[in-house]
């Protein structure tokens, strides 16, 4: 019986108390809020990158369309008037 009591007393020393759990919960909440701030910052950065890529894509497409239209026009002019 004494052996069982000694084992239980040893185990009780390692069991977390409610205060320990409350402190751990507070630390965990702080970490989660920090992670949420980091995630929102990452989302903001991804949104900015997406907008920049979108703007560049349209600029490139417009440049290609204008250049190809100009080349077709010049070719047509030379074919008609070049002789």
The span from the CA of 79 to the CA of 83, in Å, is 7
**Would you write out the chain's pLDDT as a tens digit for each of its 83 residues?**
777 777 777 766 666 677 777 788 888 888 888 888 888 999 999 999 999 999 999 999 999 999 999 999 999 999 999 75
Decide if 14 is inside a domain: yes
What range defines the domain where residue 50 resides? 2-58
Decide if 48 is inside a domain: yes
The pLDDT of residue 14: 65
Q: How many domains does the chain have?
A: 1
The pLDDT of residue 51: 96
Q: Which residues of 14-27 are buried (b: 16+ CB within 10 A; e: fewer)?
A: eeeeeeeeeeeeee
Q: What is the pTM of this model?
A: 0.55
């Amino acid at each position: 019986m004494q052996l069982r009591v000694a084992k239980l007393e040893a185990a009780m020393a390692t069991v977390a108390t409610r205060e320990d759990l409350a402190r751990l919960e507070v630390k965990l909440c702080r970490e989660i809020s920090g992670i949420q701030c980091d995630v929102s910052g990452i989302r903001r950065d991804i949104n900015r990158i997406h907008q920049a890529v979108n703007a560049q894509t349209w600029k490139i497409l417009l440049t290609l369309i204008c250049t190809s239209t100009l080349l077709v026009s010049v070719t047509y002019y030379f074919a008609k008037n070049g002789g």
